[in-house]
Structure formats: structure tokens, C-alpha cells
Amino acid sequence: MAEAPIRRRVVVHGRVQGVFFRDTVRRLAESRGVAGWARNTAEGTVETVLEGPADAVSELVAFCEQGPARAAVERIEVAEEPPEGLRGFSTA
């Protein structure tokens, strides 16, 4: 039996725009079978929704705590949400 997917919404605060945060999350998500999206917000944060196997989603949430090399993450907010059956990963 396949593991039930989970979904997390993550908002990342700090120097997180213009440092390839969204693209890095997309590449990691695609390589781990996680669906969702990532976008820059007007507040200067990056918001991402991650949906897939619990271990892979947890790994991506942990990545968001650090970010790519040029990022300076100050804090993240993580919210549990019901899965919607997303497919693929997009950045906006």
C-alpha cells in the first residue's frame, strides 16, 4: 500500500528572494516526487506548498529552514493542510 500524501504550506522569511530559492525548491521537489508550487510574495517572503510522501515533504521543509547558499533565512512558518492531489511543481 502506498503511503498517504501530506501537505505543508511554508512561508520563509529573511533574504529569500533573488537567491534561487524557488528554483532550488522546485528542483528538489521534482527529484523527490513532491508536487506543489513556490512563489515570491509582496511582503518579501517565499511561500511554498509541498504535497507528497511524508519523508520527502519533511526533507523539503527542513531545506526551507536553511535555503540555498545565498539565502539568509530568519524564520519559517509551517502549516499543515489537507492534500489536494496536486501534480507537478510550478514557480511563479
Q: Mind telling me the catalytic residues?
A: 22, 40
What is the DSSP code string of 5-35? PEEEEEEEEEE-SSSSHHHHHHHHHHHTT-E
Q: C-alpha grid cell for residue 71? A: 539565502
> Which residues, 6+ apart, have CB-to-CB distance to 13 below 8 Å?
44, 45, 73, 74, 75, 76, 77
Can you tell me which residue has the cell 523527490? 32
